[in-house]
Amino acid sequence: MSNGRNMHSMEFPLADLLMMMEAMRIKGNVAMMSPYKGAEDRLREYQARFDALIPPHARQFDSMALCEINIELQEASYFHIFTQRPHGQRWWHETSEGRLVVQINGKRWSTKSSNIKKDDEVYNGVLDLLKELAPMDCDPILEEPTAHPESS
């Protein structure tokens, strides 16, 4: 590809890649049923390029949730990350498997998976992703917040 007048580049947050990829998948389904095979091929190429850029542990979250996490992280001085008992499970200890929860300024988001243990590969991968997304002065707190309200 050239960098002529018809070529454009764009910057966007890393955390938005997953959401943008999902939007391209929807259009990909439409393109598959259209007579425009050249356009479909180009769209599939873009999908593959975007897919390769998505951080591995980003897929633990809903795409729009990850976008919201990133928005909140940009203004936060810290965030909480901890495992939580899956819904409906009576017995649970913080070393048991559960959902990974991110809390920033009183807002919470959970992973799609409920079989994550503290300090396992997924937990550490998500923690590394959040550290990468967060500003340098935003620190992780590796425990559930206490009952009193948070302040940023």
pLDDT at residue 89, as a whole number: 65
Q: How confident is the model at residue 119 (pLDDT cuts 50, 70, 90)?
A: confident
pLDDT at residue 123, as a whole number: 94
Measured CA to CA, the distance from residue 77 to residue 94 in angstroms comes to: 25
pLDDT at residue 2, as a whole number: 63
Q: Report which of residues 39 and 7 the model is more confident about.
A: 39
pLDDT at residue 114, as a whole number: 85
**Other C-beta atoms lying within 10 Å of the C-beta of residue 76:** 19
Domain boundaries, the chain: 14-54, 60-141
3-state SS, one letter per residue, for the chain: CCCCCCCCCCCCCHHHHHHHHHHHHHHHHHHHCCCCHHHHHHHHHHHHHHHHHCCHHHHHCCHHHHHHHHHHHCCCCEEEEEEECCCCCCCCCCCCCEEEEEEECCEEEECCCCCECCCCHHHHHHHHHHHHHCCCCCEEECCCCCCCCCCC
pLDDT single digits (tens) 26-62: 998 899 999 999 999 999 999 999 999 999 899 999 9
pLDDT at residue 94, as a whole number: 63
pLDDT single digits (tens) 85-97: 776 666 656 667 8
Q: How does the average pLDDT of the chain come out, rounded?
A: 88
- The four Cα atoms 139, 53, 71, 103 give a dihedral, to 10 degrees, of -50
Q: How confident is the model at residue 115 (pLDDT cuts 50, 70, 90)?
A: confident
Kindly tell me if the per-residue pLDDT of 73 is higher than 80.
Answer: yes
Measured CA to CA, the distance from residue 75 to residue 137 in angstroms comes to: 10
pLDDT single digits (tens) 60-71: 999 999 999 999
At position 131, the amino acid (one-letter code) is K
Kindly tell me if the per-residue pLDDT of 152 is higher than 50.
Answer: no
